């Protein structure tokens, strides 16, 4: 039997990068997957590939920073698959390495909306489902930027620190109810998250001071394999953990 046979998994930011890799791997391991992304064309392409390889996938275009979109996404999942077992909060955006003095309200709210509020909304909407089932699994894609202060700009760093706090609080509160919540903290990964970014000169200079010891970036599939483990019964006693996946960068 495949690792996730019969499970229903919802993956945000599934149109590319880490989210695409997780959705594709979960589907290959037997999960019924719901792909969410702001770019409809991207998730349709991912779903097409999944189905071509014998998997099951549905698409729902959503701006996950909007609570109404999250509610509709959860309703869509339940309407089609009747339940939800695994929630992967992967959607995320960068902040151009902008230091606090130059962070506009617009940038702050946009980064917090996608990186933190989206995870909060989706967790709040799914906990009730998991409580009824007496089981559930949440995986939040954080960052080493959520562990240290110099890997990104102010807004991104704050959002990922907060996401880790959210992860630990949920894990502790609901552990007796059969619900697990863990986070993955990747280092550099070959994705398009920085596409179109215009780095802030000062912020980028400060961040770059610590990159001389950085290993080559990971492939999204490396992170997907870790997510699969956390989603599986093999990780049944792992809860409230933040698993660093950075090739040893932060070990220095």
Residue 218 has pLDDT above 90, yes or no: no
Domains of the chain and any CATH numbers: 8-251 (3.40.50.720)
What are the pLDDT digits (tens) for 63-81?
999 999 999 999 999 999 9
What are the pLDDT digits (tens) for 137-173?
999 999 999 999 888 899 999 999 999 999 999 999 9
pLDDT value at residue 103: 96
Q: Which helix (H) or strand (E) holds 36?
A: strand 32-37
Q: φ, ψ for residue 181 (rounded to 5)?
A: -145, 115
Instruction: Show the CA angle centred on residue 67, arms to residues 18 and 108, nearest 5°.
Output: 70
What are the pLDDT digits (tens) for 42-67?
999 999 999 999 999 999 999 999 99
Query: Which one of 156, 172, 174, 252 is the catalytic residue?
Result: 156
Threshold 0.75, pTM exceeds: yes
Mean pLDDT for the chain overall: 93
- Give the integer Cα–Cα distance in Å for 32 and 57: 6
- Give the integer Cα–Cα distance in Å for 4 and 115: 26
Residue of 204 and 100 predicted with greater confidence: 100
Does residue 156 have an active-site annotation? yes
């Amino acid at each position: 039997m495949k690792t996730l046979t019969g499970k229903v998994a919802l993956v945000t930011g599934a149109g590319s990068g880490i989210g695409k890799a997780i959705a594709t791997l979960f589907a290959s391991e037997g999960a019924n997957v719901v792909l969410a992304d702001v770019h409809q064309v991207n998730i349709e392409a991912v779903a097409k590939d999944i189905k071509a390889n014998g998997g099951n996938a549905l698409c729902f275009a959503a701006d996950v920073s909007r609570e109404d979109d999250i509610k509709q996404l959860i309703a869509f999942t339940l309407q089609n698959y009747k339940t939800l077992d695994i929630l992967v909060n992967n959607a995320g955006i960068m902040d151009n390495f902008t230091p606090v003095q130059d962070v506009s309200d617009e940038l702050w709210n946009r980064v917090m909306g996608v990186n933190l509020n989206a995870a909060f909304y989706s967790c709040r909407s799914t906990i009730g489902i998991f409580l009824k089932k007496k089981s559930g699994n949440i995986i939040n894609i954080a960052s080493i930027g959520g562990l240290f202060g110099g890997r990104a700009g102010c807004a991104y760093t704050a959002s990922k620190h907060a996401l880790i706090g959210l992860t630990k609080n949920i894990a502790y509160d609901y552990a007796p109810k059969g619900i697990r919540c863990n986070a993955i903290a990747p280092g550099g990964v070959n994705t398009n998250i920085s596409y179109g970014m215009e780095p802030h000169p000062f912020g980028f200079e400060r961040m770059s001071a610590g990159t001389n010891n950085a290993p080559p970036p990971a492939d999204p599939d490396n992170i997907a394999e870790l997510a699969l483990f956390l989603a599986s019964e093999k990780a049944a006693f792992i809860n409230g953990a933040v698993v660093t996946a950075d090739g040893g960068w932060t070990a220095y």
